[in-house]
Structure 1
């Protein structure tokens, strides 16, 4: 076979082949169905322009939006046993972890960073719902504890962005043990007289809500976030009553005293800066 037959057809095919289109080129609003170009959504802080629906952010995107110039120092948590119970359901737990790490680029559900927020040193932890539903296991618990103790040692506020479906069932009782462990670490931060601020994002449920997500000195929430222990459908089936409109959403919780403020994402960083300066008695940043 000559070169015309082996070389020319593949090149022609490549020239006229259809280019692959990214799957996430357009994003659909879950509430209104509005289609938004992904670049426009990114520039708007992952908030749908028309409906103001707050889309989920990855841990890296959230940290970049909070720290000055999007720069921070990663705080690495101690290593833990990957699969202490040798758990298996439809898939092995180690395989689920491998898939989640490949999908998100994270070691586990929580990423912690230290940096400057409007010139003020802070430690920030972000729970990424894309990593196995932001579930709380040993690795995530170690990350929260490490972040809290680092903030206590360095004398900085600690800000927690919570998003989770609850404790990680594949780790059983070992995941539930992270609830008291994080609570003790929060007390250590308070003994260091540093503020603990929680930002509840959509969704924050289960054992996370029953522990560090509801222990902040100040409780903030993004608009429309689902916040609770059990889900509304489970509660309705249990009590056999119709729940009020907006039940367990951040606005409803604010009206009933469980959340201090509901803050739009565009105002979140300025609000956190004001709170940190107020609670630490830090001076205002000098005007440039």
Structure 2
């Protein structure tokens, strides 16, 4: 008897709102395609066809905003995906000669080889919905987006680039906290980046923060919460200490959704939660409005 089950992927589905006619893959046959063509939905467990997921800006059918690297973030942000890359400053490597069973130099080397760049921060300049801007992106895939001297210097360089060009600065945050291998030098970057934000304010230039998953630790305690406007991606984890640490300290159960973007918007710490497909347009509108206000006040 002939097998009536079709092996062809179904059409339409969750991607139809992004790109009509693209495929939805409902199952994967083993050994018929390379592994990197398939991505597992962390919520449903379904296997998603990578090109379709890229078309959807790495937002899954369940609405999960998956983590993306710095290059991808910049392409999604600037008009037509075009931007001028701004070099990040060089800093001394392994100033404390730190080792935790593996030398910090070796960890840096492995992270750089995997990411193809020096550290977690990447800077670009271009137009966002028609408004010129400088954007700095923190990439969680590079050592958990940890804040070290390289990230601090990059943030300062981005702020100075915005001031020199007379344009706003947009910062996309994603970090697990300070980089322990740099000790107190890492913690100093909280104060140094705060001073860079003050330089932007002195120049009367907007500073807008986009909080992505996750934004925690010293980053949250410094430049991540100093913006004129704070946007966040849906479901992003945002906080200083972890929920379990807080619960064990206060000996109380935290409310559902605590430290998620939607909860923080409800409590006034986030101005607006914006989905990734809408982010560039919303950012452009915010930047245009803030720059118009600056010009009227001049």
Q: TM-score, normalised by structure 2?
A: 0.86
What is the match of residue 59 of structure 2? 47
What is the match of residue 156 of structure 1? 167
2:165 and 2:125 map into 1 onto residues whose CA distance is 10
Q: Do 2:206 and 2:228's aligned partners in 1 also have CA atoms closer than 8 Å?
A: yes
2:159 and 2:233 map into 1 onto residues whose CA distance is 22
Q: How does 1:232-243 map to 2 (within 5 A)?
A: 232-243=243-254
Match of 1:24 among 23, 26, 36: 36
Pairwise CA distance, 1:118:
2.5
Number of corresponding residues: 264
2:282 and 2:151 map into 1 onto residues whose CA distance is 26
Matched, 1:82 2:93: yes
Pairwise CA distance, 1:20:
8.9
Q: TM-score, normalised by structure 1?
A: 0.89
Q: How does 1:176-255 map to 2 (within 5 A)?
A: 176-255=187-266
The DSSP-based 3-state class of the residue aligned with 2:93 is coil
Matched, 1:57 2:68: yes
What CA deviation, in whole Å up to 9, does each residue of 1:63-96 have, x standing for no partner?
Answer: 0111122121111122110110000002100000
1:216 and 1:240 map into 2 onto residues whose CA distance is 32
1:193 and 1:22 map into 2 onto residues whose CA distance is 51
Bigger radius of gyration? 1
1:109 and 1:133 map into 2 onto residues whose CA distance is 8
Name the stretch that deviates more: 140-149 or 232-241.
Answer: 232-241
Q: Which runs of 5+ in 2 are unaligned?
A: 1-29, 294-298
CA RMSD of aligned residues (A): 1.5
Q: Which runs of 4+ in 1 moved over 6 A?
A: none
Pairwise CA distance, 1:24:
2.5
